[in-house]
Amino acid sequence: MNLRRIPIAPLIAGSCFVACLGLTAVAVGRALSLPADGTVVQASDRLYRSGTVVVDNVLDASTGIRAGDVITAVNGRPVGEFTQAVAQTAIPSRLVYSVAREGVSRDVTVVLHPAALGGLVAQIWPSLGVLAAFVAVGCFVFVRRPHDAAAQDLLIIAGLTSCGTVGWLVG
């Protein structure tokens, strides 16, 4: 077997795509392994500028948290330690969130539970559908034309887009 005849570019494109899917699986696995409070908070610069966490979506309405709530503290600790407080807490346990809702401050007791994949998918299925279509097109074109540089680029871009978007959606 002559190694000089093995085209390297399709191997690199395919490897990058598989690596992106692997990173996506790791991000989803990590998110599902952490205790959940039933809320979705999209990472953005407003989290770091305001010293608060704004809840974007609520997957479990029984938590007492509502979309639009502004969380200012968790168990009396500053919200900057929010992720650490939740990640280091056993399931099931209770946390007290200091919440500003419609200009009124209140404490809301939240019970942590295992993350629910179904609730998350129900919230983000449109984005997942678009990503699946993009990946399918990228794979289809790459399989048909593996030596075409544009097909290789499309496959890599589909993988990177999927990895970044899913990672952002699941936190």
Per DSSP, 9 falls in state H
Q: What is the mean pLDDT of residues 12-36?
A: 76
Q: Are residues 103 and 159 in the same domain?
A: no
Confidence of residue 100 (pLDDT cuts 50, 70, 90): confident
Using a cut of 0.75, tell me whether the model's pTM lies above it.
Answer: no
Q: Are residues 89 and 151 in the same domain?
A: no
Residues in the chain: 171
CATH number at residue 94: 2.30.42.10
Alpha helices by DSSP H, the chain = 8-33, 45-50, 82-87, 117-144, 149-170
Give the residue numbers spanning the domain of 128: 9-33+117-170
Residue 152 within any structural domain of the chain: yes
Q: What is the mean pLDDT of residues 83-104?
A: 74
Q: What is the mean pLDDT of residues 159-167?
A: 81
d(CA 65, CA 18) in angstroms, rounded, equals 38
Q: Are residues 59 and 108 in the same domain?
A: yes
Q: Which amino acid is at 93?
A: S
Is pLDDT of 141 > 80?
yes
Confidence of residue 87 (pLDDT cuts 50, 70, 90): low
Report the number of distinct structural domains present in the chain: 2
Q: Are residues 154 and 102 in the same domain?
A: no
56 SS3 class: coil
Structure tokens at 93: 């346990």
For 1, 96, 98, the CA distances from 104, given in Å and listed in that order, are: 73, 16, 11
d(CA 152, CA 170) in angstroms, rounded, equals 27
